[in-house]
Amino acid sequence: MAGPGRKSVRSTDHAWLITAPLILFAVVCSTLTSLVAERPFGDWPLAIVLLLAMVAAGLPVLNFTVRRQSVGVTLTEIPLVLAFYLTPPLTVVVTYTVAAVLTHLWHRMGNTKLWFNVARAAAGSSLAVLVLQLFPPLRGVGPGTWVTLFTAAIMVNLVSMTSVAGVYTLLQGWQTGREAFRKSPSLLVAPAINIVAGLIILILITSTWWSLLLLAALISALALVYRAYAQFFRQHRTLADMYELSRAVSGSGQDGALADALLARVRTLMQAEYATLWLPAQSRHPEVLLTSRIADSGLLDVAPTPAELRERVREKGQTVVLGRGAVGDAELRGALSKQRIKDVIVVPLRSGQAVVGTLEVANRLGASNSFVRTDVPLLETVAAHAAVALENSRLVDRLRHDADHDALTKLPNRRRLTAAVAEAVKIRAPGEVVALLLFDVDRLRQVNESLGHAAGDKVLVEVAERLRTCAPSSALVGRAGGDEFLVTLRLESAEAALELAGQLREQIRDEMLFDALTLDVDTAVGVAVHPDHGSDAVTLLQRVDLAATAAKSVPGNVQLYSPALESRSLRRLGLAGDLRRALDDGGLQVYFQPKVTLRDRRLVGVECLARWEHPAHGTVAPDDFVAVAEHTGQLGRLTEFVLRESLRRSRDWQHGEQPLAVSVNLAARTLTDQHFPALVRELLDEYGVPPQRLTLEITEAGVLDGTERPIPTLRRLRDLGVRLSVDDFGTGNSSLAQLRRLPVHEVKVDRSFVQGMATDPGDLAIVNAVVTLSQQFGLAVVAEGVESELTLELLQDIGCEIGQGFLFSRPLPYERLEAWFAAQVDPEAVPAGELPRLRVVP
């Protein structure tokens, strides 16, 4: 589009408002001259010779460079001075006017320009001969004659400059006209030199006509010198312009201003009215069509030439030249004529062997000028520089795009998202929030491990596509890293953000097919909003990450950020070093919670639970320090510590001449350790505990993760004779039928169902089904969370065998467990070789 500040330009037809008064002025001056001159006309043979001289002097334009500015000069003043001296006054007017007609017809000017130039020539020459009548008659070639002829000749130039300035004022405004008047004195230097040269020639020919021979020799020599001068300066100017263009183009490729730097300089270099750059659509780059026009300060998004011309150059890869003296397609020449394009050069832009666009110039400045074949190599050289700069610019753009986008999903990456959030919080409008929704894809690691990373990549691409499709059009969807995707947009409140998070999660939850395998895609969603949860992008991203982590353990898997999440996370971060020291110094303890038979309340074992009393923070929740151990690589040490303490107490605690059975919880990650079964065997041998007295409990989510990953480790543990138990059963998405393929011995019903079975028929039905099916599969069932007599009776009624909970005992340290055991067991009632039976709890 055209840049701002474009001036309103009138049509050149308005020049008749200046041409008509000039013609009238010429008629008036010529009439007055005819009345006062003794001999207005005459000497026509000599006038014809002077006419030829005027035409010969007016056709070539001599260009000289003065102070880095090009000045065009004609020699018409030289024969004009001779005409003033040698012919009658009105003969001079006719001769000069006819010479102007012939000269401008040769230059093929339009009618408006032709008649304006003829009118100013007639007006200037008629005023000059009238001024001559005011001076004394010319006698000889002395100083008086010099002054008279100089004054008359300079009057022609004054009229010419005044009329041109008037046309500029009329067509382009008074500022342009004032600028033309301001430059007028400097433009009189060249005519003054020509007038002096004409006077010198007059002196020579009045002395002897033989001096014409010497003048002819001098003019020929000067012509040769000027030709060499013009060629040298043309080459120098071209090289200088090419250097400036190359430097400007190279420097503008980095900031996206290539077209602006290129087209204006190409138009100036080629002295053209238009310069056009065309780049067809390529990959993610849209089509570019920009034109620089001499009358505009900006760029146009249209081209003066037909599109067929550029398409032909692109297809054939060859330069096309159309204009005067050039042979071309008649149809194209006709189309150019309709667009008022007299000549054009179109060259291809190449990247290697491929043509990636075109560069063209149209309408050589000057009515008589046109492009020639020698201009083609120059424009092709410019095109080569432009093509290299264009490729560099697109390379930089590609690198910038790659730096801000994820290579796999093509979504904005964390760097781009951070910048977008930072920009969004700066311009937040009143009554709205900037919402961040972080989607964490569930079980992606298991997909990578079981099906390979190619399958994991397909999952990520599919999730990205679903989010891109389902998210509102105003949202920015990006990949925050790994298996996390971020959606950010403006909403009216945090509640609206939570609602949208839930809707998007449900919309992207669907089956995903990989050949013959079907996967369920699920996500946990964290939500944070500005300004409630942070004032900058870094804080918001950190807090939405915390919310996404917490969302994995809440119903609905959608979590709004709260300060409690951050305090817990910071606390866990600070516990990492303290946990290492606690493991080194024995700062952790193992507590024991009894497991009893529900029918006759006999003690069958204890569950061993790690506890940590921090000197500064007090009691640390097991979920917190186990998570810290997992993330800091201390899980193995923690598991070994609990195993050692449990087996040691089992060995030392002799009741009924049998070691006490112990149960130890395992994290899912422990099952990926190939050395763990060997460690268990070594510890069993070290403490002399039979393998069947050790039960290892793994959560349902850890043992039934949809992959075969934990199976080898479980089988090796079973081969050792260790009992295996599925903990927290019922909280995941597995079924009892899936347990049939696992080498487990026991199922522990999650406490949430056991505690609710006395009041919720649904929970009672779930527990009943688990007990019944487990017994059919030959699995023992342990009910967690037995806290009331009513629950105990219900469990007995449905046939559950073992229970643990606060009804029997809370987890106790070893010393208190001994006291509890002594208080609960009736020693006289314990037959030899049987398990101790607890007293009935009132």
Q: What is the pLDDT of residues 635-680, one digit of tens each?
A: 888 999 999 999 988 888 755 455 678 999 988 888 888 889 999 9
- The one-letter amino acid code at 572 reads R
User: Cβ(149)–Cβ(84) under 8 Å?
Assistant: yes
Q: What is the rounded CA–CA span in Å between residue 28 and residue 24? A: 6
Count the neighbouring beta carbons within 10 Å of the beta carbon of residue 106. 12
pLDDT at 500: 93
More confident residue, 477 or 838: 477
Is residue 2 over pLDDT 50? no
Per-residue burial over 436-452, b = 16 or more CB atoms within 10 Å of its CB, e = otherwise = bbbbbbbbbebbbebbe
* Residues 514-524 pLDDT 10s: 666 677 778 89
Max mean pLDDT among 164-173, 198-207, 680-689, 818-827 falls in 680-689
Mean pLDDT of the region 539-545: 90
Give the containing element (helix H, strand E) for 30.
Answer: helix 16-36
Cα–Cα distances in Å, from 816 out to 212, 423, 603, 612, 819? Answer: 137, 60, 16, 17, 5
Q: What is the pLDDT of residue 304?
A: 85
Q: Are 602 and 596 in contact (CB under 8 A)?
A: yes
- CA atoms of 21 and 205, how far apart (whole Å): 38
Whole-number percent of the chain with pLDDT over 90: 14
Sort residue 369 into left (φ over 0), alpha (ψ -120 to 50) or beta: beta
> Once rounded to an integer, what is the mean pLDDT over residues 311-317?
86
Q: What is the mean pLDDT of residues 149-171?
A: 76
Q: Give residue 65's pLDDT band: very low, low, confident or very high (50, 70, 90).
A: very low
Q: What is the mean pLDDT of the chain?
A: 78
DSSP string, 133-167: HHSPPP-TTSHHHHHHHHHHHHHHHHHHHHHHHHH
Q: In this predicted model, what pLDDT tens digit does every residue of 603-637 receive, in sequence order?
A: 888 999 999 888 877 888 888 788 778 877 888 88
Cα–Cα dist 460/440, whole Å? 11
pLDDT of 239? 61
Q: Kindly list the distances between the CA atom of residue 827 and the CA atoms of 593, 809, 812, 819, 824, in Å, as whole numbers in the listed order.
A: 21, 19, 21, 13, 9
Q: Which of 181-190, 230-239, 286-295, 743-752 has the lowest mean pLDDT?
A: 230-239
Q: Are 542 and 525 in contact (CB under 8 A)?
A: no
Residues 548 and 309: their CA atoms lie apart, in Å, by 58
pLDDT value at residue 732: 56
* Mean pLDDT of the region 759-788: 88
Instruction: Give the number of other Cβ atoms within 10 Å of residue 331's Cβ.
Output: 10
Burial of 386 (0-12, 13-18, 19+ CB in 10 A): buried
- State which amino acid sits at residue 385: H
Look at residue 259 in the predicted model and tell me its pLDDT.
Answer: 73
Residue range 200-210: mean pLDDT, rounded: 75
Q: How far apart are CA 561 and CA 541, in angstroms?
A: 11
Lowest mean pLDDT segment, chosen from 252-261, 405-414, 437-446: 252-261
What does R_g of the chain's alpha carbons equal in angstroms? 50
- For residue 96 the two structure tokens come to 């000069």
Q: For 406-427, how does the pLDDT look when each residue is reduced to its tens digit (9 = 90+)?
A: 888 889 999 999 999 999 888 8
Q: For the residues 685-689, what does the mean pLDDT come to?
A: 90
Binning the chain into helix, strand and coil, the percentages to the nearest 5 are 55, 20, 25
Q: What is the reported pLDDT for 517?
A: 67
**pTM for the model:** 0.49
Rounded Cα–Cα distance for residues 47 and 769 (Å): 128
528 has pLDDT over 90: yes
> What distance in Å separates the CA atoms of residue 842 and residue 314, rounded to the nearest whole number?
97
pLDDT digits (tens, 9 = 90+) for 96-125: 888 878 877 776 666 677 777 788 888 888
In the chain, how long is the greatest CA-to-CA distance? 166
**Are 610 and 590 in contact, with CB atoms under 8 Å apart?**
yes
